[in-house]
């Protein structure tokens, strides 16, 4: 993880939440039309939690745990989440990261709703249209609130998948660097190896989530593995790999699938590791690290509704850069969009139905995971090379130093949306703009 802090010292710990993730299945109470309703309550509250490092910290949690409870819902269902705020003196919201919800449900404090005040509550309702791996987090002062623990996973199971499937191990692994602002600089990484006993032959699906701003390196060794989905959208390339090393950008998700072999399989997120073992033992972790996976494919053209050669109704270029400025009254690096910082970055204006092309040009020395709310972007090209293989859809695209990406999306979800760097400290320093509909 990288620099966390914009003010005071910060305690930080890398936290790798695997099966320890608390899971909630919605109470399936009523049917809306022919769809079920999955109801949940998430209560924002302070709690003392134990990080993987062993350290006990005073975190901000949903329902007393961080990561917050994993919300497990079925594709097509109506999801209804009541957010209750019991934090002292701070407002919170819930943003459904990667889910293209109606604008009023997007949870952006000051844009789509007011922050939910202490003692108050708010009900979010949206349909789980697309199966996949998503996450939720507070979107009020998010650089502080997410780091302190106000986030969790949202998993949408395919329409016909059983909620409990004994032949499949389905596990979400959130990688988080915890931190607060109490001035205690106890920088640390979790080192404990977690173990899971998994019988040979069992299918394992790992849903990797990076809640941090910098890319996290996830490495899986010990079994042939397939990348099944990126940012909640299935991919069919590059097929089965001998192992995987993946730079999961800030806010992004990757789903990996493998069949449990007779030997241990190790998943490592930078330092911390989880070992999946047929016998519950640790086993050797000696396999050489595989090469880094490149999600961009340049092979067979894929059938998508639009592509690099389409006619675009609007084209925008966003230059990601850095410059010295002031932040909270002190000299600091500011991250800029077209040489401006929020709220001075001009809005992207579109009309309903437009096909929109955006070119992200990173002139800075940092990674900027650009997250567009309410829409999914198809990656058209990187550094001038057209991507043509398995359609690569993202909601959060890590644009590395010096890189240029062309992406496209269909403007089909009217409202006022954010497009911002998901390095939330960069966003707090001004790397935010809005997408609006005329
Ligand atoms: Cu995951 Cu605007 O945020
Ligand atoms: Cu950034």
Task: Name the residue with the closest Cα to ligand 1, atom 3.
Answer: 97
Measure CA of the first residue to CA of the last residue in the chain; give whole Å.
39
Q: Provide ipTM, 2 decimals.
A: 0.98
Query: Which listed CATH number (2.60.120.620, 2.60.40.420, 3.30.70.100, 1.20.120.450) goes with 187-277?
Result: 2.60.40.420
Q: For 345, list phi and psi in degrees, rounded to 5.
A: -80, 125
Domain 12-164: CATH architecture, name and number where available = Sandwich (2.60)
Spacing, Cα 403 to ligand 2 middle (Å): 13
Q: Is the alpha carbon torsion for 82, 85, 430, 147 positive or negative?
A: negative
Spacing, Cα 228 to ligand 2 middle (Å): 27
Task: Name the residue with the closest Cα to ligand 1, atom 1.
Answer: 97
Q: State the closest ligand 1 atom to the C-alpha of 135, by its place in the atom list counted from 1.
A: 1
Domain 314-437: CATH architecture, name and number where available = Sandwich (2.60)
Q: State the closest ligand 1 atom to the C-alpha of 418, by its place in the atom list counted from 1.
A: 2
Q: For 406, list phi and psi in degrees, rounded to 5.
A: -105, 130
Q: Report residues whose beta carbon is within 6 angstroms of any ligand 1 atom.
A: 95, 97, 137, 139, 251, 371, 373, 418, 420, 422
Along the 438 residues of the chain, how does pLDDT read in single tens digits? 232 222 333 334 444 444 345 667 665 545 555 678 999 999 999 999 887 777 888 899 999 988 899 999 999 999 999 999 999 999 999 999 999 999 999 999 999 999 999 999 999 999 999 999 999 999 999 999 999 999 999 999 999 877 667 778 898 988 888 888 753 323 223 334 577 889 999 999 999 999 989 999 999 999 999 999 999 999 988 889 999 999 999 999 999 999 999 999 998 887 777 888 987 666 555 567 788 999 988 766 666 788 888 999 999 999 999 998 776 788 888 899 999 999 999 999 999 999 999 999 999 999 999 999 999 999 999 999 998 878 899 999 999 999 999 999 999 999 999 999 999 999 998 999 999 999
Spacing, Cα 210 to ligand 2 middle (Å): 15
* Cis omega (within 30 of 0) for bond into 55: no
**pTM metric for this prediction:** 0.91
The CATH 2.60.40.420 domain(s) of the chain lie at 12-164, 187-277, 314-437
Spacing, Cα 182 to ligand 1 middle (Å): 24
């Amino acid at each position: 993880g990288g620099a966390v802090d914009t003010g005071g010292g910060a305690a930080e710990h890398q936290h790798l939440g695997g099966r320890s993730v608390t899971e909630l299945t919605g109470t399936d109470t009523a049917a809306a039309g022919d769809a079920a309703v999955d109801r949940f309550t998430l209560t924002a509250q302070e709690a003392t939690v134990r990080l993987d490092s062993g350290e006990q910290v005073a975190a901000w949690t949903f329902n007393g745990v961080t990561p917050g409870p994993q919300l497990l819902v079925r594709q097509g269902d109506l999801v209804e989440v009541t957010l209750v705020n019991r934090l002292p003196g701070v407002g919170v919201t819930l943003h459904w990261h990667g889910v293209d919800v109606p604008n009023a449900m997007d949870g952006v404090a000051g844009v789509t709703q007011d922050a939910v005040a202490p003692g108050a509550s708010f009900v979010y309702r949206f349909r789980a249209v697309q199966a996949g791996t998503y996450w939720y987090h507070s979107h009020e002062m998010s650089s502080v609130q997410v780091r302190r623990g106000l986030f969790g996973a949202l998993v949408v199971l395919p329409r016909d998948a059983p909620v409990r499937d004994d032949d499949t191990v389905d596990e979400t692994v959130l990688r988080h660097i915890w931190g607060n602002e109490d001035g205690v600089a106890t920088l640390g990484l979790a080192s404990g190896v977690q173990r899971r006993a998994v019988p040979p032959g069992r299918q394992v699906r790992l849903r990797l989530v990076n809640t941090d701003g910098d890319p996290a390196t996830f490495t899986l060794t010990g079994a042939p593995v397939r990348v099944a989905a990126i940012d909640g959208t299935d991919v069919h390339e590059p097929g089965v790999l001998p192992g995987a090393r993946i730079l999961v950008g800030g806010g992004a998700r990757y789903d990996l699938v493998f069949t449990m072999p007779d030997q241990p399989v190790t998943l490592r997120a930078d330092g911390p590791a989880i070992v999946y073992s047929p016998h519950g033992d640790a086993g050797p972790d000696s396999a050489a690290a595989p090469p880094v996976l490149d999600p961009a494919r340049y092979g067979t053209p894929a059938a998508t509704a639009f592509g690099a050669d389409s006619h675009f109704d609007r084209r925008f270029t966003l230059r990601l850069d850095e410059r010295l400025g002031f932040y909270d009254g002190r000299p600091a690096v500011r991250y800029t969009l077209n040489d401006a910082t929020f709220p001075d970055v001009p809005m992207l204006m579109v009309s309903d139905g437009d096909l929109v092309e955006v070119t992200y040009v990173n002139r800075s020395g940092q990674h900027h995971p650009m997250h567009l709310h309410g829409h999914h972007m198809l990656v058209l090209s990187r550094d001038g090379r057209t991507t043509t293989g398995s359609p690569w859809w993202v909601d959060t695209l890590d644009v590395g130093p010096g890189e240029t990406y062309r992406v496209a999306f269909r403007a089909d979800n009217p409202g006022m949306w954010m497009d911002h760097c998901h390095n939330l400290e960069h966003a707090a320093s001004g790397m935010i703009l809005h997408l609006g509909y005329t």
